[in-house]
Amino acid sequence: MFDTLQDRLAATFKSLRGKGRLTDADIDATTREIRIALLEADVALPVVKEFVSHVRDRAKDAELSKVLNPTQQIVKIVNEELISILGGQERPIRFAKSPHPTVIMLAGLQGAGKTTLAGKLGHWLSEQGHSPVLVAADLQRPNAVQQLQVVGERAGVPVYAPQPGNGVGDPVQVARDSLDEARRKLYDVVIVDTAGRLGIDEEMMAQARDIKAAVNPDETLFVVDAMIGQDAVNTARAFEDGVNIDAVVLSKLDGDARGGAALSIARVLGKPIMFASNGEQLTDFDLFHPDRMASRILGMGDMLTLIEQAEKAFDEEQARASAEKLLAGRGEFGLQDFLDQLKQLRSMGPLTKIFGMLPGMGGQMKAALDNLDEREVDRLEAIILSMTPAERADVSILNGSRRARIAKGAGVQVHDVNSLVNRFVDARAMMQSMGPMMGMGGGGARKPRPPKVERSALAMDRSAKKKGKKNKGKKKGTGRQVPTQLAGGAQNPFAKAGPQLPDAAAGGFELPENLRGMFDE
């Protein structure tokens, strides 16, 4: 069973290696793989069909690129198509002209995350200088009103809840009154949390329509769970017909669902996806990034997310120092540094998942890691922890008796210790040979690597903008033109950190052959 489109296509093209040109038959073979990959990512069937035929047409017309092999070329086309469907641009909230308050209405299925989202949205808006109020118009679900009150309290946002809920009270009246309340207390944004409802429940849809008519919202947001399957299209259509939605919010994106539903909804309704909610904390909420979503649907790895997680998990200075040490060579990088890295990496989640986010992981390496038992890693940690600081710093002092002692301490066999030490030395040597390539350390061959997948100019601009938050001084348009030949390798990223490298890495970094070779022996 293949996990990602890239794997599938790679398998299809195995026989074509060295072939410079895609025939019609090759293209037809790939479209079936694309179809299955998209279906497994929960993209709705009608959307898949249309998408696949589109990709087929483009693939036939496409000029063969010199840089990309057929697999990469198809993946590139698919990726670009995905991004274009998901919408290239951010869609900001349309605020009402004062003195009227801006009204945002949330609608969706039960359990999609509307109430939680109301809190996050309120928090986000108040951080931007607005004064929002949350309106408890879910009078259906037991204690939904209390939940909103607690959420509001946590978010530091006032809640308007005149009715106790649990089936008591008229949500339409509550919604209507909330506008007066907002005018009276000078709130400028009103967020109406409605009860969850099914698309086929006519009665409840009529109620939603009534609420909408009563408050005349500036934005009606459809909240949908990223894990939703083929039903996404039916549901989205039902809500579109029922209440006329303006934009979509994807919730629970912090799971490992591919989120193909986002694509289906964007395509079928032609509505933009405005926000993505990706965690349980109030701050886990962000504008939607189409380019990341595209990679995710394809299962191509998600470097940007990985990096963001790393930024949370890693200790900045320490990580930087140890990376420099590692790549600079001279054997300074010891087992203690390795242990630190390992621990930080593990704090980001299960190792298999982290490696899964690396693009270009394929074949045997993936197979080896899929079966990775975290307890094996615990054992490795135990071995290192059984060493003295001096031994960790310099593995060359490990003689037979030291190794025997360490094995005893960690409860393993001596050959386990040997194996760890040997692997470590090999991996370190290999990383050091890569040092110059990554623009660190001195000397060595500087081989520019071509990017596997070019990012669209839009995606580029977006991620540059994102980086702008952390990297104040940089102009956001620097990376508008994607260099076909990656020059990043020749620059020293510490001196000048252009956005080219991360983007190329995000799209097309593949672990070097020699590293993969380690798994294939």
Partner 1 sequence: MSTTIWVIIVLAACALVGGVIGGIVHARRTRGELAPGAEPAQIQAPPKTPAEPTAAPERPAEAAEPAAEPPAPALEVPEAPATRMVRLRRRLAGSNNHLARALAELLSADRIDEDVWDDFETTLITSDLGVAPATELVEKLRSELAIEGISEPARARQLLRTELVGLVDPNLDRGLNLDHAEGRPAVIMMVGVNGTGKTTTVGKLGRMLVAQGRSVLFGAADTFRAAAAEQLGTWGERVGVRTVRGDEGADPASVAFNAVDEGIATGADVVLVDTAGRLHTKVGLMDELGKVKRVIEKKAPVNEVLLVLDATTGQNGLAQARIFAEVVDVTGIVLTKLDGSAKGGIVVQVQRELGVPVKFIGLGEGADDLAPFDPEGFVDGLLGE
Binding residues for GTP, by number, are: 108-115, 193-197, 251-254
Number of Cα atoms under 13 Å in the Cβ half of residue 27: 19
User: Which range in 84-92, 139-147, 175-183, 400-408 contacts partner 1 by CB under 8 A?
Assistant: 139-147
Per DSSP, 23 falls in state -
Contact 459, 485 (CB under 8 A): no
- C-alpha span between 179 and 197 (Å, rounded): 23
Contact 59, 35 (CB under 8 A): no
If one asks whether residue 166 binds partner 1 (CB under 8 A), the answer comes out as yes
Annotate 303-342 with DSSP letters as a single string. HHHHHHHHHHHS-HHHHHHHHHHHHH-TT---HHHHHHHH
The residue count for binding partner 1 (CB under 8 A) is 119
**Which parts are annotated binding residues?**
108-115, 193-197, 251-254
| Smallest distance from partner 1 to CB 386, Å | 15
- C-alpha span between 39 and 261 (Å, rounded): 10
**What's the angle, vertex CA 96, arms to CA 245 and CA 173, rounded to 5?**
65
- C-alpha span between 189 and 120 (Å, rounded): 14
User: Which range in 5-13, 90-98, 170-178, 306-314 contacts partner 1 by CB under 8 A?
Assistant: 306-314
Q: Indicate which single residue of 431, 449, 476, 483 sits in contact with partner 1 (rule: CB under 8 A).
A: 431
Q: Indicate which single residue of 217, 260, 451, 479 sits in contact with partner 1 (rule: CB under 8 A).
A: 260
CB nearer to partner 1: give 180 or 374: 374
Site string for partner 1, 436-455 (x = CB under 8 A): --xxx---------------
- C-alpha span between 386 and 24 (Å, rounded): 60
User: Which range in 124-132, 288-296, 448-456, 506-514 contacts partner 1 by CB under 8 A?
Assistant: 506-514
Contact 39, 261 (CB under 8 A): no
If one asks whether residue 365 binds partner 1 (CB under 8 A), the answer comes out as yes
CB nearer to partner 1: give 161 or 179: 161
Site string for partner 1, 375-394 (x = CB under 8 A): xxxxxx--------------
- C-alpha span between 282 and 120 (Å, rounded): 5
Per DSSP, 168 falls in state B
If one asks whether residue 194 binds partner 1 (CB under 8 A), the answer comes out as no
- C-alpha span between 504 and 145 (Å, rounded): 47
Q: Provide φ and ψ at 450, rounded to 5°.
A: -75, 145
Q: Which residues sit opposite 44 in a β-bridge?
A: none
User: Which range in 69-77, 213-221, 399-407, 499-507 contacts partner 1 by CB under 8 A?
Assistant: 499-507
CB nearer to partner 1: give 211 or 297: 297
Site string for partner 1, 195-224 (x = CB under 8 A): ---xxx------------------------
Q: List the structure tokens of 341.
A: 């890295």
Q: List the structure tokens of 322.
A: 């140890």
If one asks whether residue 140 binds partner 1 (CB under 8 A), the answer comes out as yes
If one asks whether residue 323 binds partner 1 (CB under 8 A), the answer comes out as yes
User: Which range in 19-27, 99-107, 124-132, 252-260 contacts partner 1 by CB under 8 A?
Assistant: 252-260
If one asks whether residue 468 binds partner 1 (CB under 8 A), the answer comes out as no
CB nearer to partner 1: give 114 or 212: 114
Parallel, antiparallel or unpaired: strands 159-160 and 102-108: unpaired
Q: Which amino acid is at 168?
A: V
Q: Indicate which single residue of 303, 395, 407, 460 sits in contact with partner 1 (rule: CB under 8 A).
A: 303
Site string for partner 1, 82-121 (x = CB under 8 A): ---------------------------xxxxx-x------
Q: Which amino acid is at 285?
A: F
Annotate 244-300 with DSSP letters as a single string. ---EEEEE-TTSS---HHHHHHHHHH-PPEEEEE-SSSTT-EEE--HHHHHHHHHT-
- C-alpha span between 22 and 62 (Å, rounded): 10
**Alpha helices, DSSP H, located in 360-512:** 363-370, 374-385, 389-393, 400-410, 414-434, 457-470, 500-508
| Smallest distance from partner 1 to CB 38, Å | 10
CB nearer to partner 1: give 37 or 214: 37
Q: Indicate which single residue of 467, 479, 507, 508 sits in contact with partner 1 (rule: CB under 8 A).
A: 467
- C-alpha span between 180 and 133 (Å, rounded): 12
CB nearer to partner 1: give 16 or 319: 319
Q: Indicate which single residue of 29, 393, 427, 457 sits in contact with partner 1 (rule: CB under 8 A).
A: 427
If one asks whether residue 56 binds partner 1 (CB under 8 A), the answer comes out as no
Site string for partner 1, 142-161 (x = CB under 8 A): xxx-xxxxxx--x-------
Q: Indicate which single residue of 9, 41, 157, 190 sits in contact with partner 1 (rule: CB under 8 A).
A: 41
Q: Which residues sit opposite 135 in a β-bridge?
A: 160, 192
CB nearer to partner 1: give 187 or 338: 338
Q: Three-state SS for 504? A: helix
CB nearer to partner 1: give 16 or 310: 310
If one asks whether residue 287 binds partner 1 (CB under 8 A), the answer comes out as no
If one asks whether residue 398 binds partner 1 (CB under 8 A), the answer comes out as no
H/E run at residue 193: strand 189-194
| Smallest distance from partner 1 to CB 98, Å | 31
Please list every residue from 174 through 193 that binds partner 1, using CB under 8 A.
Answer: none
H/E run at residue 196: none
| Smallest distance from partner 1 to CB 216, Å | 28
Please list every residue from 404 through 423 that binds partner 1, using CB under 8 A.
Answer: 412, 416, 419-420, 423
